[in-house]
A and B are shown apart, each in its own frame.
Chain A
Amino acid sequence: MMDFRFDIIAEYSHFFLMGTLLTIGLSLAGVFLGSLMGLFIAIGELLENKFIAFIFKAYVGFFRGTPLFVQILIIYFGVIPALFGEANGIVSAIAALSMNAGAYIAETIRAGIQSINRGQSEASRSLGMTKIQSMRYIILPQAIRRILPALGNEFISLIKDSSLASTIATPELMYWAQSMNAQYYRVWESYVSVALIYLILTLTANFILKHFEKKVPVK
């Protein structure tokens, strides 16, 4: 520890910056696409058609029941090459993170929808609204307000989980820590630096989300 080499951190600062931006990008993409998928899946799970509902439930079961790391590898080495003919780290990372987040967010959204009093859907249906209109105008707006905090937490998880993308040649933050360590064999400089950066990211995100939550009325 005595000879902590700030010079190599300085040398890598540019890479860390690029890595941080990619980490943020992956997390934002993950929470955004994951939310869209989550909404889609949650509604699919609540469908009366038992077969379709089962497919969506199976999806959620798979992505929650297997390690994200495994999912990333399957998508990177298997799914994306099969679809596009070649591997692509960033695309695979975004796909895996979104699909994984989608499964978790689906559970949150489903719980949020189910937490809305049945009287709300009955009142809207009795006014002649279709199921979709009732969902769109009455149930979801109320449910979304309740699940916003959970979405924030999912975003923070993604900041950390996206570090797994370093294993599939995606130059996010963790990737640069590993390449620094590979170059200089300096464990502390490499990993403590990125640990600090991750901490700053999650704390900042948390702070912003808490601030934001206070501003959104519960109505």
Chain B
Amino acid sequence: MIKIEDLKKSFDENVILKGISLTVKAQEVVVLIGPSGAGKSTFLRCLNKLETINSGHVYINAQDITDPKVDINKIRQKIGMVFQDFNLFPHMTVLENIMISPIKVKKESRDTAYETASQLLTKVGLANKADAYPDDLSGGQKQRIAIARALAMKPDIMLFDEPTSALDPEMVGEVLTVMQNLAKEGMTMVVVTHEMGFAREVGSRIIFMDRGYIVEENSPQELFSHPQKERTKAFLSKILSSQNNKLPL
């Protein structure tokens, strides 16, 4: 579904991604963890070409998005992305936020788009907020709307970049629950998160990234119980002690 070969990315002279190769199979939930500055966000943003790619290849459904002939707008329709700070469109209601892309990009009829949007709102538990504006929502609600907005394009893949990092602790759970349900339905997901409980529970595979490399990858059980590399151990002990395993699932 996603195949990444020796992906390299730098900003000016700063090499951020130093050759990443990874394959994500359909219905897998790959969780990326790693310290700040490791390049996790940059990596995720390369997958839908929000960042230009310096070298290597990224295949989405067997199409190489580094090929300039590939229409990236088409590819992006198949890849939903959820951002840390939501990025809802503040001048539109919740419903309009969700409907705009299906209507304008996919040329769906308003009725069809409305139908989908209503179902998605119910799914994320916010059917009563259809006519609200983003500014009137809590962080957790905003993020659930952002997920619904991405899902409205009926993507094959969902990318999450620290979707709960900007949330008050009591709202983390509601967003993780939506994500967990999505995973259960078989969505292919790549998730950057510091929520180790979610990683362990929902992840099919954990990737530990540091300084532009994949240091270690394994099943959640293996990676958390028997980390092989020193850097992984150090990172895990630090983050687990600070998190105290506050899994709200």
A: which residues have CB within 8 A of B? 117, 119-120, 122-130, 133, 137-138, 141-142, 145, 219
Contact = CB atoms under 8 A, between A and B. Distances in A.
B27 to A, nearest CB: 21
Contacts of A120: 87, 89
Counting chain A CB atoms within 10 Å of each CB, the highest count among B83, B101, B106, B146 belongs to: B101
A130 B50 contact: no
A122 B87 contact: yes
23 contacts: A119-B87, A122-B50, A123-B87, A123-B146, A125-B50, A126-B79, A126-B81, A127-B76, A127-B77, A127-B150, A127-B153, A128-B73, A128-B76, A128-B101, A128-B105, A129-B104, A137-B104, A138-B100, A142-B89, A142-B90, A145-B91, A219-B91, A219-B133
B108 to A, nearest CB: 12
B149 interface: yes
A133 B79 contact: no
A138 B80 CA distance: 17
A127 B105 contact: yes
Is the contact region of chain A dominated by helix, strand, or loop, or is it mixed? Answer: helix
Contact of B105 (A119, A122, A129, A145): A129
Given A119-B85, A133-B105, A219-B135, A127 B149 contact: yes
A96 B89 CA distance: 37
B178 to A, nearest CB: 18
Interface of B: 48, 50, 73-74, 76-77, 79-81, 83, 85, 87-91, 100-101, 104-106, 133, 135, 146, 149-150, 153
A125 B89 CA distance: 12
B91 A141 contact: yes
A124 B150 CA distance: 10
A119 B73 CA distance: 17
A200 B146 CA distance: 49
Contacts of B87: 117, 119-120, 122-123
B135 A129 contact: no
A129 B91 contact: no
A119 B84 CA distance: 10
Q: When A and B form their complex, which 7 residue pairs have the shortest distance between CB atoms, in order from nearest?
A: A128-B77, A123-B87, A119-B87, A127-B101, A126-B81, A128-B105, A128-B76
Contacts of B104: 129, 133, 137
A127 B88 CA distance: 12
B174 to A, nearest CB: 20
A117 B106 CA distance: 25
Counting chain A CB atoms within 10 Å of each CB, the highest count among B73, B106, B153 belongs to: B73
B80 to A, nearest CB: 8
B118 to A, nearest CB: 18
Contact of A129 (B73, B80, B81, B90): B73
A133 B149 CA distance: 16
Contacts of B83: 119, 122-123
Nearest to B45: A122
Contacts of A128: 73-74, 76-77, 101, 105-106, 153
A32 B150 CA distance: 37
Contacts of A141: 91
A137 to B, nearest CB: 6
Contacts of B89: 120, 123-124, 138, 142
Contacts of A138: 89, 100
A124 B105 CA distance: 10
Contacts of A133: 104-105
B42 to A, nearest CB: 13
A130 B73 contact: yes
A129 B91 CA distance: 17
Given A119-B85, A145-B91, A137 B79 contact: no
A122 B83 CA distance: 9
A124 B87 CA distance: 9
A17 B233 CA distance: 84
A122 B81 CA distance: 10
Nearest to A117: B87
